[in-house]
Amino acid sequence: MRRRKLLVALAGLAVVVVAAWEILLSHRADRATPENLYRVTEGMNRSQVYSILGTPDGFATWRHVRIPDPYWNGDICTIRVQIDADGAVIDKGAEVHNQPNPFANLLARIKRQWHRWFP
């Protein structure tokens, strides 16, 4: 009976350690930064933008344009790129996140990881 409790406790501890590792230490490099936004220029095609910013987190309608525009969420900002029907960038923008302390940054990272695991 004691051995079973010890094994259950160790298994629970292993799950907690793996989850903490995934959330805190092994997150992908944040590509949604103002520096990468400046690298995106008007006239670039979709594949060039994806090579700079990576795969987009989602698509949204932006500035009353009917075609879906990709967006990237990061720790610092959310980047939106407006792409025309031919696949060329016609506009770009960013919304800077104001996170007052490291705890809020940790909560935002946990929330984003949760949405990646359970879309």
Kindly report the pTM of this predicted structure. 0.56
SS3 6: helix
The per-residue pLDDT for 18 is 77
Residue found by looking up tokens 């990061």 in the block: 74
Residue boundaries of the structural domains of the chain: 1-28, 31-117
Matching CATH number, 31-117, of 3.30.1450.10, 3.40.50.150, 3.30.160.20, 2.40.110.10: 3.30.1450.10
pLDDT tens-place string over residues 42-64: 999 888 988 898 888 766 544 55
CA dihedral of residues 93, 99, 104, 105 (deg, nearest 10): 60
By C-alpha distance, which of 72, 65, 57, 55 is closest to 91?
65
91 close to 82: Cβ distance less than 8 angstroms? yes
- Which DSSP helix (H) or strand (E) runs through 72? strand 69-73
- Positions of the chain with pLDDT under 70: 22-29, 58-68, 99-100
What tokens appear for 41 in the block?
């220029």
pLDDT value of position 40: 92
Strand order in the sheet with 58-60: 58-60, 69-73, 77-83, 89-96
Rounded to 5 degrees, what angle do the CA atoms 11, 14, 15 make? 90
